[in-house]
Amino acid sequence: MGTERGGADDQGEAGPGPAAPAATLDAILEQRGRVGSDSPIVAVDAVTAQWVLFHLGERPFAFPGRQVVEILRTPPIHFVPGCPPALEGVIEVRGTIWSVLRLADLLDTPAGAVTRRNAILLGRAADLASGLRVDAVDDVLDLAANAILAPPADLAGRLQGVVIGVLPHRGDAVLALDMAVLLRAWRDAGP
Amino acid sequence: MQFGVREDPGRYANLDYDNDNDNDNDATVELVLCRWGALELGLPAGRVAALEADLDPAAPTIGALLGLPAAPGGMRVLRLAGPGAVVRIRVQAPVTQVRLPAAAIHALPPLLAARLRRPWVRALAWRPQPAPGALVVILDPGDSV
């Protein structure tokens, strides 16, 4: 059994040509090895963003992590006379007074029962800040940008413009929200 | 304006907000505190001309001004005087005058200020003691008085 030795060994290189000799396995492997050593592997991290997942009633939602300053178990909420119905009151957090909005009211979606899992997200987006009451915080995830799907075209009412995408998560379609758009719309709705 | 009786002064004795074991020498605000139900309300002392007995049950209440339900309890009348007029308004006892450091005074959170539906609500004061802390809603009649 004779294995032809190709011209690559004799000629020192393999390349195109009118009568290029057949490369041998050894030559190919050798070339691959040189390619590997000359071209370092560059690790490219996929661009990811953090998301805070929560739910209101039976519906899952998420805010970008950069818009959530802190997650609190529900502290005492102090009533202030003259607040519109969606604004429950204020809380004190390490010397700062925050308003607390019922997020379910802002989104016109049913809220669940008051339980120990209720939480307040301290949110800050653009020039606006507020606490936002949610039924429970489910998870905090890092997701690649291409994991976020386009928002549905048939969103109802107050969700339009606020939902910026859909995050598939454990079989659920989690609606991703823009807190700046949400708070600005509520602020500008008038007294 | 000075009240004859400063009720329960111990609650307000500790003005050492910066924990340096002395009364703060920072800028301070004098407030007249009163109540309506569970709410603690405050008015700048300079806007309160006098504390009077509750002799006119038909006089407006602070609760009605703020859209709050009626609340039981003893009443007092605060006479508010300004460049515009004199207003007498009924509030719940106890009525006290306190001095709070500027650090205890907070502006209304912006979203609350933007959507507030009642007049006179001007600012908030936070008193960390006794724990867990207490909120005072600071009222200011502004130019209405």
> How many other C-beta atoms can be found within 10 angstroms of the C-beta atom of residue A141?
17
A with B: how many residue pairs have Cβ under 8 Å apart? Answer: 72
Among A113, A157, A151, residue whose Cα is nearest residue A133: A113
By CA distance, what is A91's nearest residue in B? Answer: B135
Total of domains in chain A: 1
Cβ distance A120 to A91 under 8 Å? Answer: yes
Of the candidates A96, A128, A191, which has its C-beta nearest B115's C-beta? Answer: A191
Supply the range of the domain harboring residue A98. 48-187
Question: Searching chain A, which residue's CA lies closest to the CA of residue B62?
Answer: A81
How far apart CA B127 and CA A130 sit, in angstroms, is 21
Residue A160 backbone dihedrals phi, psi, to 5 degrees: -65, 135
User: Which of chain A's residues have a Cβ under 8 Å away from the Cβ of B112?
Assistant: 80, 83, 87, 90, 99
Q: Residue A63: its pLDDT value, please?
A: 98
Residues A100 and A90: their CA atoms lie apart, in Å, by 6
Asked whether the beta carbons of residue B39 and residue A79 sit closer than 8 angstroms, the reply is yes
* pLDDT at position B3: 39
Smallest CA-to-CA distance from B48 within B106, B94, B88, B99 is with B88
**Interstrand relation of B134-139 and B39-44 (parallel, antiparallel or unpaired):** parallel
Nearest to B142 by CA among B6, B25, B44, B75: B44
Taking only the tens place, the pLDDT of each residue in A54-110 is 999 999 999 999 999 999 998 999 999 999 999 999 999 999 999 999 999 999 999
| Minimal Cβ distance to B112: which of A80, A92, A183 | A80
Using DSSP, state whether A163 is helix, strand or coil.
strand
Burial class (CB in 10 A: 0-12, 13-18, 19+), A24: middle
Contact of A173 with A155, CB cutoff 8 Å: no
Q: How close, in Å, is residue B68 to chain A by CA atoms?
A: 7
pLDDT of residue A37: 55
At residue A1 the predicted structure's pLDDT band, cuts being 50, 70 and 90, is very low
Task: Give the DSSP letter of residue A78.
Answer: B
Residue spans of the domains in chain B: they are 26-144
Across the range A182-186, mean pLDDT stands at 96
**3-class SS shares of chain B: helix, strand, coil, % to 5:** 15, 40, 45
* pTM attached to this predicted model: 0.77
Q: How far is A103 from chain B (nearest CA, A)?
A: 14
Say if A156 is an interface residue toward chain B (CB within 8 Å): no
Average pLDDT over residues B79-93: 86
Written as one letter, the residue type at B108 is: L
Q: CA of A28: how far to CAs of A37, A80, A156, B31, in Å?
A: 14, 78, 61, 89
Q: Do B111 and A101 touch (CB under 8 A)?
A: yes
Q: A85 in contact with B at a CB cutoff of 8 Å?
A: no
Specify if A32 maps to a domain: no
Q: How far is B103 from chain A (nearest CA, A)?
A: 9
How many Å apart are CA A30 and CA A36, to the nearest integer? 10
Average pLDDT of the segment spanning B79-108: 90
Contacts of A99 in chain B (CB under 8 A): 109-112
Contact B111 A87 (CB under 8 A): yes
Yes or no: say if B5 and B94 are a contact pair by the CB < 8 Å rule. no
Residue A166 has pLDDT above 50, yes or no: yes
Give yes or no for A129 touching B (CB within 8 A): yes
Average pLDDT of chain A?
84
Q: Is residue A119 part of a domain?
A: yes
Minimal Cβ distance to A92: which of B66, B121, B133: B133
Radius of gyration over every alpha carbon of chain B, rounded to an integer in angstroms: 15
Tokens of A92: 């004190």
Quickly tell me which residue has 């940008």 as its tokens: A145
Asked whether the beta carbons of residue B111 and residue A97 sit closer than 8 angstroms, the reply is no
> Across residues A159-169, what is the average pLDDT?
92
pLDDT of residue A87: 97
Dihedral angle of Cα A180, A183, A186, A189, to the nearest 10 degrees: -50
Check residue A36 and give its pLDDT: 53
**Which residue matches tokens 């709050």?**
B68
Its ipTM equals 0.79
Q: Cβ contact (<8 Å) for A97 and B106? A: yes
Which DSSP letter does residue B115 get? H
Q: Do residue A99 and residue B132 have CB atoms under 8 angstroms apart?
A: no
- The three-state secondary structure class of B93 is strand
